[in-house]
Amino acid sequence: MKTTIPGSKKRFIEVLERDRLYGGRYEDKFKIYYDVKQESQTSPRVPRTESSYLIPIHEENLYLWCLANLRNEITGCSIFFEFENLELTVSIAGDRLSQYAEIRDRVLELVRPFLLG
């Protein structure tokens, strides 16, 4: 957990979608974006597939940053989302990717009593 300004995840996602290389859909649930390698201003932008940003199709304040192995299989992710004025980060295994919403909800269920008194 760390403090944040409400809406910062949404703004980060807007910048991410503008500045990163769009890679299409992933499992029909996420938009995928990559950082890029570029040798020069005129050379083509090449995706850095060892890591990616996944944005759930119907979310605007949550994203996942994931790592992949040499076969481009996602091995693990960190989920970034906001609650009140806090940014929460949860790490999950790659095989739990489709359960991100349930994991987020469970984390909120656990921390809400401590944060709201």
The model's pTM is: 0.88
Domain boundaries, the chain: 1-35
Q: What is the dihedral of CA 45, 46, 47, 50, to 10 degrees?
A: -140
pLDDT tens string 77-100: 999 999 888 899 999 999 999 999
For position 66, what pLDDT does the model report? 97
pLDDT at site 38: 83
pLDDT at 116 over 80: no
Give mean pLDDT, residues 40-62: 90
Take residue 106 and report the two structure tokens written for it. 């469970």
SS3 5: coil
Each residue's pLDDT tens digit, 2-40: 888 888 999 999 999 999 999 999 999 999 999 988 888
